[in-house]
Amino acid sequence: MAHRIAVIAGDGIGTEVMPEGIRALEVAAKRFKIDLAFTTFEFGSCDYYLEHSKMLPDDWFDQLKDFDALFYGAVGWPDKVPDHISLWGSLLQFRRQFDQYINLRPCKLMPGIKSPLAGREPGDIDFYVVRENTEGEYSSVGGKMFEGTEREIVLQETVMSRVGVDRVLKYAFDLAQTRPRKKLTSATKSNGISITMPYWDERVAEMAKHYPEIAVDKFHIDILTANFVLHPDWFDVVVGSNLFGDILSDLGPACTGTIGIAPSANINPEGKFPSLFEPVHGSAPDIAGKGIANPIGQIWSGAMMLEHLGYKEAADAMVTAIEEVLSEGNRQVLTRDVGGQGSTVSLGQAIAERI
Identity of the residue, 3 or 95, whose beta carbon is nearer to ligand IPM in the bound complex? 95
Of the candidates 38, 190, 328, 329, which one interacts with its own copies according to CB under 8 A? 190
Considering only 61-69, 82-90, 204-212, 341-349, which stretch makes contact with its own copies by CB under 8 A? 82-90
Site track for its own copies across 247-286, x = CB under 8 A: x-xxx-xxx---x----------------------x----
Q: Rounded to 5 degrees, what are φ and ψ at 188?
A: -135, 180
Identity of the residue, 198 or 285, whose beta carbon is nearer to its own copies in the bound complex? 198
CA distances in angstroms from 31 to 35, 99, 307, 313, listed in the order given: 11, 32, 15, 11
What is the smallest separation between the CB atom of 313 and its own copies, expressed in angstroms?
A: 32
Residues 324-353 that bind its own copies (CB under 8 A): none
In this structure, the dihedral spanned by the alpha carbons of residues 27, 28, 33 and 35, taken in order and rounded to 10 degrees, is: -80
Q: Which residue is nearest to ligand IPM (CB)?
A: 192
**DSSP 8-state class, residue 108:** E
Residues 118-147 that bind its own copies (CB under 8 A): 118-119, 137-138, 140, 142-144
What is the smallest separation between the CB atom of 350 and ligand IPM, expressed in angstroms?
A: 27
Report which of 251, 334, 351, 247 is spatially closest to residue 298, judged by C-alpha positions: 351
What is the smallest separation between the CB atom of 91 and its own copies, expressed in angstroms?
A: 9
Identity of the residue, 132 or 323, whose beta carbon is nearer to ligand IPM in the bound complex? 132
Residue 78 engages ligand IPM in binding (rule: CB under 6 A): no
**DSSP 8-state class, residue 92:** H
Residue 353 engages ligand IPM in binding (rule: CB under 6 A): no
What is the smallest separation between the CB atom of 194 and ligand IPM, expressed in angstroms?
A: 9
Could you tell me whether strands 263-267 and 102-108 are parallel, antiparallel, or unpaired per DSSP bridges? antiparallel
Give the integer Cα–Cα distance in Å for 20 and 353.
12
Residue 113, amino acid: I
Q: Rounded to 5 degrees, what are φ and ψ at 237?
A: -130, 125
Give the integer Cα–Cα distance in Å for 287 and 289.
6
Report which of 242, 260, 338 is spatially closest to residue 74, judged by C-alpha positions: 260
Residue 179, amino acid: R
Identity of the residue, 242 or 344, whose beta carbon is nearer to ligand IPM in the bound complex? 242
Q: Is residue 102 within 8 Å of residue 168, measured between CB atoms? A: yes
Give the integer Cα–Cα distance in Å for 89 and 1.
32
Residue 153 engages its own copies in binding (rule: CB under 8 A): yes
Residue 194 engages ligand IPM in binding (rule: CB under 6 A): no
Residue 196 engages its own copies in binding (rule: CB under 8 A): yes
Residues 199-238 that bind its own copies (CB under 8 A): 199, 220-223, 225-227, 229-230
Residue 246 engages ligand IPM in binding (rule: CB under 6 A): yes
Residues 6+ positions from 70 with CB-CB distance below 8 Å: 5, 6, 7, 8, 64, 94, 98, 274, 275, 276, 277
CA distances in angstroms from 194 to 61, 65, 72, 169, 189, listed in the order given: 37, 38, 36, 20, 8
Identity of the residue, 340 or 348, whose beta carbon is nearer to its own copies in the bound complex? 340
Q: Please count the residues of this chain forming the interface with ligand IPM, following the rule CB under 6 A.
A: 5
The residues of the shown chain that bind its own copies, judged by CB under 8 A, are: 76, 82-84, 86-88, 92, 114-119, 137-138, 140, 142-144, 149-163, 189-199, 220-223, 225-227, 229-230, 242-243, 246-247, 249-251, 253-255, 259, 282
Q: Where along the sequence are the contacts to ligand IPM (CB under 6 A)? A: 87, 191-192, 222, 246
